Amino acid sequence: MFEVIELSKSDRQEGYRPEPDPAKHPIFQWPPKPVAVAKYLFGFPGYLWPYATFFAGVALVWWLLLTPELSQMRDFRASWIALICVSNLTLLVLCAGVLHLRLYVQKAQGTEYKYNSKWLSVDNQTFLFRDQLWDNVFWSVCSAVPIWTAYEAATFWLQANGFAPTVSWQSHPIYCALLLLFTQVWIDVHFSATHRVLHWPPLFKSVHSLHHKNLNPGPWSGLAMHPAEHLIYFSGVALFWIIPSHPLHSLYLLVYLVLGDIVGHHGFDRLVLRKKIVLNTNHYMHYLHHKYVRVNYGTGVLPFDRLFGTFHDGSDESMRALKNRFRAQALRSREGRKDAAS
């Protein structure tokens, strides 16, 4: 069992705090604001650019250059499964390794735009090897990569044998393009739903708390999860076992889950190159989830946290609402225990 982690005063040390955005998501505002919606969908950074477009490009390169022909995957053979595993490990190391090298080894921008001004934890018995980085690397390499590879291999095998329906881009280009766009929405729905399940106290304590040891996450923290959580996290690809798709759709989903998690946990709001901001990563909401645990379960386009009252944007107003909600929950819990005792 893993213990539920409580924030100490030193863990709460603040760094960069973005100005909260008081506006609701432009897609769900009324009356409609088409200019704001278009800016969100096509602007930089936005829904499609740079992350979704970049991840789709990576998936396409991986499919064309590093993935065996579908006809070769009709039988489970160690050769092609090993190739996929090595390709996945390479992608993980390249992305997480480059970000870690620049931001945490070279410290190229110091703590500028870093959400927590502290660096990764060392000599801390909370982590394997008493080191946050090597703990994160262990779970990412020894658990995430094999389970990710297993889902990928199973999906390709099902499609190669006709057990999962497939379509071609040449025959159904519009359907395939729309499904690619929908994949990002599905990732958000699946992640938000399963993430809330993982915060059910028994599952949180035995499984999800391993990930939440990273109160101050870094690039390798994104996939530092319990193996049971990896089974849940990558299970979204099973959508393509049911609905017609091209193998590129499942590859895109898996690449998105991996690279999105790395980018979403590197701990900086903006990346700086030669004293110029080159990218506003804007993952403060998920940092607040690691900090306060019971807020911001989703990370995407759909406003689940606003609907369920768990949205937190870092503002004083959100903090007051969070404290009031926790007090109300504690009061209901005490009254429930009194009723049970009587």
236-289 pLDDT tens trace: 999 999 999 999 999 999 999 999 999 999 999 999 887 777 777 778 989 999
**Encoding tokens for residue 297?**
């379960």
* Residue 121: per-residue pLDDT: 96
Q: Tell me, yes or no, whether 277 lies in a domain.
A: yes
* Residue 6: per-residue pLDDT: 39
Band of the pLDDT at 1, cuts 50, 70, 90?
Answer: very low
- Reported as type and span, the H/E element at residue 273 is strand 270-273
* Residue 342: per-residue pLDDT: 65
What residues make up the domain containing 121?
Answer: 10-20+58-294
**Encoding tokens for residue 12?**
């709460």
What are the beta bridge partners of residue 122? 131
Band of the pLDDT at 23, cuts 50, 70, 90?
Answer: low
pTM of the model: 0.90
Q: Tell me, yes or no, whether 16 lies in a domain.
A: yes
Q: Tell me, yes or no, whether 47 lies in a domain.
A: no
* Residue 8: per-residue pLDDT: 41
pLDDT, one tens digit per residue, over 289-334 is: 999 998 999 876 778 888 888 888 888 887 787 778 777 777 887 7
DSSP 3-state assignment of 90?
helix
Q: Tell me, yes or no, whether 195 lies in a domain.
A: yes
pLDDT, one tens digit per residue, over 56-74 is: 999 999 999 999 999 999 9
Sign of the alpha-carbon dihedral angle for 35, 270, 9, 97: positive
Average pLDDT over residues 16-33: 74
Q: Tell me, yes or no, whether 318 lies in a domain.
A: no
Q: Tell me, yes or no, whether 1 lies in a domain.
A: no
Q: Tell me, yes or no, whether 317 lies in a domain.
A: no
Sign of the alpha-carbon dihedral angle for 87, 89, 95, 101: negative
**Nearest by Cα to 103 from 278, 308, 319, 306:** 278
Spell out the residues 6+ positions from residue 311 whose beta carbon is closer than 8 angstroms to its own. 295, 296, 303, 305, 318
Crossing angle for the helix pair 51-61 and 247-264, nearest 10 degrees?
130
> Are 217 and 133 in contact, with CB atoms under 8 Å apart?
no
Burial class (CB in 10 A: 0-12, 13-18, 19+), 19: exposed
Domain count across the chain: 1
The CA angle 138-139-141, to the nearest 5 degrees, is 65
> Are 96 and 262 in contact, with CB atoms under 8 Å apart?
yes
Crossing angle for the helix pair 78-100 and 145-160, nearest 10 degrees?
140
* Residue 104: per-residue pLDDT: 97
* Residue 125: per-residue pLDDT: 95
Q: Tell me, yes or no, whether 37 lies in a domain.
A: no
State the number of CA atoms in the 13 A half-sphere of 114 facing the CB.
20
pLDDT of residue 84 exceeding 60, the answer is: yes
Distance of CA 217 to the CA centre of its chain: 12
Q: What separation in angstroms does the CA of 285 have from each of 186, 214, 280, 288?
A: 20, 15, 13, 5
* Residue 14: per-residue pLDDT: 73
Q: What is the DSSP string of 107-165?
A: -TTTTTTBSSSS---BS-TTSGGGBHHHHHHHHIIIIIHHHHHHHHHHHHHHHHTTSS-
Q: Which residue has the tokens 């689940």?
A: 304
The CA angle 336-337-342, to the nearest 5 degrees, is 100
* Residue 21: per-residue pLDDT: 63
Angstrom distance (rounded) from CA 128 to CA 65 = 36
